[in-house]
Copies of this chain bind each other. A is one copy, B any other.
Amino acid sequence: MVDAGKQLINEVISEKLDMEKLGIGPNCTTITVADLGCSIGPNTFYAIQIIIEAIKLKHITKSSESLNLEFQVYFNDNISNDFNMLFRSLPPSREYYVVGVPNSFYERLFPKSSIHLMYSSASLHWLSGVPKEVKDPNSLAWNEERIYCATEEVTKAYSCQFEKDMKSFLRTRAEELVSGGLMMLFTVVRQKDTAHSQTSSGKFYDILGSCLIKMANRGLISKEKVNSFNLPIYNASTEELKELIDEVNYFTIERMEEYSLGSIKMARDTQVVISHIRAAFEGLIRNHFGDEVIEELFEDYTKAYAENLNTFQESSTKHNSTFAIILKRI
């Protein structure tokens, strides 16, 4: 994702970053950059390097005065993120001051108007939590024996949660971004009017759900445990995203476009898919079901994925696309 976004990052910084408007000058020589949902590296270090190089290049070519710019980079992720691992793998030759920011990005993270550029990659589809209705047996949205958007009611509950979270994300970021500051969001979206179960990621999740049900049928985990487990994930459509950005009304949409990621190629390589799924969900599954289910579950998953490979090639399956959304703080 970082690689695919490189050209876009360079273009956006070159064309859209107005250093003067941001207040960068003799009295403010520090540029602050934040990665929201940075995980443990090394992707974040690579992305930050691209961003800093692009800003330096712009500064050299466009600026008449030669400021001694300093960079401060805020690495943000949830408190449960392994910040020790992140800090210990920092590039030794970095040209920026490092800070770690442990908190959910659905809450305020930084002081008012303190960040010039925000970046987030492959993080915004993570909700702040599973909508509570889908875990409630008395609700129409109860997601029995499924772990993701299965019925219309469940999808509606997820969509409401996403709307709430995304508005909170946009409003808190608007407070923290300097006027004229940029937000570069890279996220996986689904095509408009496509049911989640018809998307390729929806199918990945459904296979995981059916593996859990089979383990429950074999008596290895309880049905209740499966019923109370749901993925805190929602792949919005670009239309949903655009509507929320417009409604919140703090940002202009500078660019919003698909960029190629080779997702279809990726889906063909079983090992890559399994390792992605495992990296994303292992922690969540361990927390809910315990350590002892993990190995068997992912063995089952590998088999089930291989058996279902053809469903990813069916014409009814809509592959998710990766979108770059570039916002500027009004």
Contact = CB atoms under 8 A, between A and B. Distances in A.
A110 B72 contact: yes
B72 A79 contact: no
Contacts of A103: 98
A15 B286 CA distance: 53
The interface residues of chain A, by DSSP majority, are classed as: mixed
Contacts of A83: 83-84, 87, 100
Interface in A192-239: none
A88 B79 contact: yes
B97 A111 contact: yes
A77 to B, nearest CB: 10
A158 interface: no
Contact of A97 (B87, B98, B110): B110
A114 interface: yes
A70 interface: yes
Contact of A87 (B30, B70, B102, B112): B102
Assembly stoichiometry (copies): 2
A248 interface: no
B112 A70 contact: yes
B102 A97 contact: no
A108 interface: yes
Interface residues of A, number: 25
Interface string A79-106: 1001110011010000001111111000
Given A83-B87, A84-B84, A30 B100 contact: no
A37 B288 CA distance: 36
A99 B97 contact: no
A328 B252 CA distance: 44
A71 to B, nearest CB: 8
A97 B108 contact: yes
A70 B101 CA distance: 16
Contacts of A29: 111-112
A74 interface: yes
Nearest to A78: B87
A109 interface: yes
A109 B97 contact: yes
Interface in A40-88: 70, 72, 74, 79, 82-84, 87-88
Nearest to A100: B100
A74 B102 contact: no
Interface string A295-326: 00000000000000000000000000000000
10 contacts: A29-B111, A30-B111, A74-B99, A79-B87, A84-B84, A90-B102, A97-B101, A97-B108, A98-B103, A99-B100
Closest 6 CB pairs of A and B: A30-B111, A100-B100, A87-B102, A99-B99, A70-B111, A83-B83
Interface of A: 29-30, 70, 72, 74, 79, 82-84, 87-88, 90, 97-103, 108-112, 114
